Amino acid sequence: MLPSGIQHDAIYILGVGSQTPVGRTHGSSAAAVRCGISAYAEHPFMLDKRGERIIVARASWLDDMMPMAERLSVLALDAAREALQPMTHSRVRSRIRLHLALSREGLGDQVRARQVADSLVSSLDGAPVDDEVAIVMDGHAGGFLAMKEAVEELRSGRSAACLVGGVDSYMTADRLEAIDFAGNLHSSHNTWGFTPGEGAGFCLMATGATVAELGLTPVAELQAVATAQEGQLLGTRTVCIGEGLTAAFRAVLGTGDRVHHTFCDLNGEIYRADEFGFALCRTSEHFVDATQFTAAAECWGDVGAASAQLALGLAVASWERGYAKGHTLLTWASSARGPLRGAAKIKQAVNPRQ
């Protein structure tokens, strides 16, 4: 018999973990965003094309010369461990499948991505994480695709639990220079660019049946997750009217759904703001107040492939700390240079022990 409030086939979030420039845990990162604390600062040595120090949001405890693959592995490790904490003393009988969102721009190919994934799994010593990792390399919204694949795997019974994460960083000379010369870097001469950041976010997911079997307490319920495609991309001679993001919103928001707050990856680029605005116009009936949203990039910078899971972590924290304004929250992200758009509807979980 299932505990009160837990549904057999529902998907629950059991734990979350974060590593960001404003905090080295889920709680500290969320508190910093809640307080509006920013990690924006001059890069120690990188200059833009006008000779000014590039403004970034970086993990200051990491070596600035650390290779990208190693940097991502280090960021991901502590966030993954934090998300796995509920499983520390559980009697889970099967391996946990890892679904990992990475950036093609940051790593270049599947070979280096596989190196990051293998390094992470080998470092999670003692955790029952399967060696076979499902990797997604699809930009900012890649984390939602990873979550979607994990949900399908859980509901099919192929895994008892899935660890879903995203990690990304812009902190290499090549990547910062590429952003600058493409005209996308925020600076005193380009107010519509974005500030490069870095971070990692993870969430541990399982069905209600597994939650009941292991006697765990969920922190949230993932009611729906969806992805969609946008045809009018950033940097092309077309006008984006938010069709892809609208499709993602409509796929997760059902009749009667009312969203109290949104957590998103808006980063200061006008394209992204316009896209969100058009999507809101088409789906306004689902929002209690469309102006109630959190864009954490103003604190930890643009976090690329880590966007989805870090946004989910903020939603969970708002319930944990008691400042959420409702029981239904929306998270979303748009891949910067690709067509993928993603969204998830999160509901406050019922505590079966109350």
Mean pLDDT of the region 155-161: 92
Looking at the predicted structure, is the pLDDT value of residue 353 above 60?
no
Q: What percent of the chain has pLDDT over 90?
A: 82
CATH number of 11-214, picked from 2.102.10.10, 3.40.50.300, 3.40.50.1100, 3.40.47.10: 3.40.47.10
- Using only C-alpha atoms, the chain has a radius of gyration, in whole angstroms, of 19
Sort strands 328-334 and 340-348 into parallel, antiparallel or unpaired.
antiparallel
31 close to 240: Cβ distance less than 8 angstroms: no
Q: What pLDDT, in 10s, does the model give residues 323-351?
A: 998 899 999 999 988 999 999 999 998 65
Give the integer Cα–Cα distance in Å for 279 and 312. 20
| CA–CA dist 204, 83 (Å, integer) | 6
Q: Residues 26, 85: contact at Cβ < 8 Å?
A: no
The 10s digit of each residue's pLDDT in 103-156 is 998 888 888 999 999 999 999 987 889 999 999 999 999 999 999 999 999 999
Q: What is the pLDDT of residue 92?
A: 65
For helices 270-283 and 243-252, the axis angle rounded to 10 degrees is: 50
User: What pLDDT was estimated at residue 140?
Assistant: 97
| Range(s) of the chain covered by CATH 3.40.47.10 | 11-214, 223-348
Tell me which of 330 and 216 has the higher pLDDT.
330
Cα 238–chain centre separation: 27
Q: Is the four-CA dihedral 263, 268, 274, 275 of positive or negative sign?
A: negative
Backbone angles phi, psi at 229, to 5 degrees: -115, 135
What is the Cα–Cα distance from 330 to 204, expressed in whole angstroms?
18
Cα 218 to Cα 1, 97, 147, 205, distances in angstroms: 17, 18, 16, 9
Instruction: Give me the pLDDT at residue 352, please.
Output: 42
Q: Taking Cα atoms as reference points, which of 4, 30, 6, 5 lies closest to residue 16?
A: 30
**Nearest residue to 201 via CA among 172, 179, 169, 248:** 169
Residue 228 CB contacts under 8 Å (≥ 6 apart), including other chains = 244, 245, 246, 247, 248, 251, 340, 341, 342
The second-level CATH assignment, the architecture, of 223-348 is: 3-Layer(aba) Sandwich (3.40)
- The residue-averaged pLDDT of 201-229 equals 95
Average pLDDT (219-242) is 92
| Confidence check: pLDDT of 258 > 50 | yes
Note the pLDDT of residue 128: 86
Per-residue confidence (pLDDT) for residue 5, from 0 to 100: 73
Identify the band that residue 214 occupies on the pLDDT scale cut at 50, 70 and 90.
confident
Phi then psi for residue 302, to 5 deg, are: -75, 125
**pLDDT for position 354:** 41
- Residue 217 DSSP label: -
How far from the centroid of its chain's Cα atoms is residue 344's Cα? 11
Q: Tell me how far apart the alpha carbons of residues 156 and 148 are, in angstroms, rounded to a whole number.
A: 13
Average pLDDT of every residue of the chain: 93
Q: What is the DSSP letter of 227?
A: E
